[in-house]
Structure 1
C-alpha cells in the first residue's frame, strides 16, 4: 500500500454534487446511482494520481481485465456526507461488470470457502470499519506498516510497534490483501525479480538500470487520455531492491519517494 494524496478539487460534476452532501443511506443510494454518467471521469482522475495502481492492492487491474471502481475510503454507509467528497475517494480494483465476475470464476476453481475479492470489494471492508485501526492510504507513512514475503504474502512490518503491527494486520484482513489471487501474482513477481537480479549480477549488468525500468512511471494510453503508470506491486518491488530502489527513486522519480 502506497500513500496517495488527492490533487486538485476533482471533476466539476463531483464538486457540484458535494455542494449538497447526502444525509441518509437512502439518499446516498439514489444519488450515487444518478451520478453514474460522471463516474468514469472521476476514475480517470483518480488513476492519474495513483499511476494506474489499485489504491489498496497496488495491482494494475487494467492489465488483468479486472477494471476499477470508485472506492470510498470512509464507507458511504458510515458517513453519507462524504459520498461526493473528493478527499474520500480512490480507485480500487474490481469493477462490477469485469472484475467481480472474473474473480467469481477464479474462486470456483478453489476448493473450500475462500474469500478472493479484495480491496473495496472485500467482504469485511463493506461492513463497519474501525477507522482508528484502519491504515489509510492518506497516511504518508502507510507503506511502512507492511512487509512483503517471498511466498507472495503480505504481513505487518515487524520493525514497527506492536500497536502498529496490529493495525497492519487489521487492514490486511479487512481488505483481504492476502487473497489467493493477489498472493499468487505477488509470488510470481518476486520470483521474476529474483531471476532478473541473478541474471544481472551474473552478467555484470547494471542493477540500477534494472531497478529504474521496474520502478519508474511509463505512459499508458487510454484515448483520449495519457496516464502515467507504474508496474503492479510498486511497494513490493521497492522493498525487494532496498537501498538501490531508494537511490533510483531519488534520482529518476523523486515524486515517488
Structure 2
C-alpha cells in the first residue's frame, strides 16, 4: 500500500456538499447516490494516486476494469465524512460492471468492495492509505502474497494482518498478478546483470511516473529493487518518497 498525499479539496461541488454534511447513514447513502459530480472527483483522485488503486496498487485500467470512489471511513460509521475529500480515494472495481465480471471468473472481490471492508471497520486497527507511513506495514513475496512486514512490533503486525484480511489483499485475483509481475522483474533483473546493463535504469522504468501514472504494484517493485529503488526515487521523483 502506497501512502497517498491529498491534493486540493475535491472541487466546488464536493466542498459545497461537505459544508452541510449528512448526519445519518441513511442520509449519507441517499445523498451520495444522488451526487452528480463523481466523475470530476474521481479524476482528481486518480491523478493524485497516479492511477493506482488506493489499496491494491492495481492499475484497473490496464486490466479492463474500472474504479469506484472509496470512503476510507465507511459512510455508515462516519456519515459526516461522506463528502470529506480527505476521506475519499479511488479503489479498484466499479460496482455495476466489475463485481459481476469477477464473480463470473470465480475470482474474489478485494479492496473497498471486500466483504470485510463493507462491514464495520475498526479504524484504530485499520492501516489507511492516507497514513503517511502505511507502506512500512506490508511486505511482498515472490509467490504473489502480501504479508505483514518483518520486524514489526506485535501491535503493528496485528494491524497489518487485520488490514490484509479486511481488504482481501490476497484474493485469488490479485495473487497471480503479483506473482507474474515479480517473475517478470526477476527475468529483467537477471538479463541486466548478465549483460552488465544499468539496474538503476531498469528500476526507473517501473518506478518513475509517466504522464502522472505509475506502473502497477509500485510498492512491490520498490521492495524488489531495495536500495536501488530508493536511490532512483530520491534522485528522480522525490515526491514519491
TM-score normalized with structure 1 length: 0.92
SS at the partner of 2:58?
coil
- For 1:55-74, list aligned pairs within 5 A: 55-74=54-73
Find the residue that maps to 1:125 and give its secondary structure.
helix
Residue pairs, 1:95-134, within 5 angstroms: 95-107=94-106, 116-134=108-126
Query: What TM-score do you get using the length of structure 2 for normalisation?
Result: 0.98
Q: 1:233 aligns with which of 217, 224, 230?
A: 217
Q: Is this contact kept in 2: 1:65–1:98, CA < 8 A? A: no
Deviation of 1:97 (Å)? 2.8
Name 2:25's counterpart in structure 1.
Answer: 25
Query: Could you give the per-residue CA deviations for residues 74-118 of structure 1, whole angstroms, max 9, x where no partner exists?
Result: 0000010000001000000001233212211221xx7xxxxx101
1:94–1:121 Cα contact (<8 Å) kept:
yes
Query: Deviation at 1:214?
Result: 0.9
C-alpha distance in structure 2 between counterparts of 1:242 and 1:122, whole Å? 30
Match in the other structure for 2:2: 2
Name stretches of at least 5 consecutive residues in structure 2 with no aligned partner. Answer: none
Please provide the CA RMSD for this pair: 0.9
Q: Give CA-to-partner distance per residue, 1:189-227, whole Å, 9 cap, x none.
A: 0000000000111111110100011100012xxxxxxxx
Q: Verify the 8 A CA contact 2:46 2:90 in the aligned structure 1.
A: yes
1:250 to 226, 234, 238: 234
- Choose the corresponding residue for 1:189, options 167, 181, 186: 181
> C-alpha distance in 2, partners of 1:157/1:208?
24
Contact 2:4 2:48 in 1 (8 A): yes
Q: Unpaired runs of 5+ in structure 1? A: 111-115, 220-227
Deviation at 1:119, TM superposition (A): 0.5
Residue 223 of structure 1 aligns with which residue? none
Q: For 1:206, which of 198, 212, 218 is the aligned residue?
A: 198
Q: Deviations over 1:107-159 (max 9, x none)?
A: 1xx7xxxxx10100000000000010001112111000000000000000121
Any runs of at least 4 consecutive aligned residues in structure 1 with deviations exceeding 6 A, and if so which? none
Are 2:29 and 2:75, in contact at CA under 8 Å, matched by a contact in 1?
no
Query: 3-state SS of the aligned residue for 2:116?
Result: coil
Asked whether the 8 Å contact 1:14–1:86 carries over to 2, the reply is yes
The aligned counterpart of 1:143 is: 135
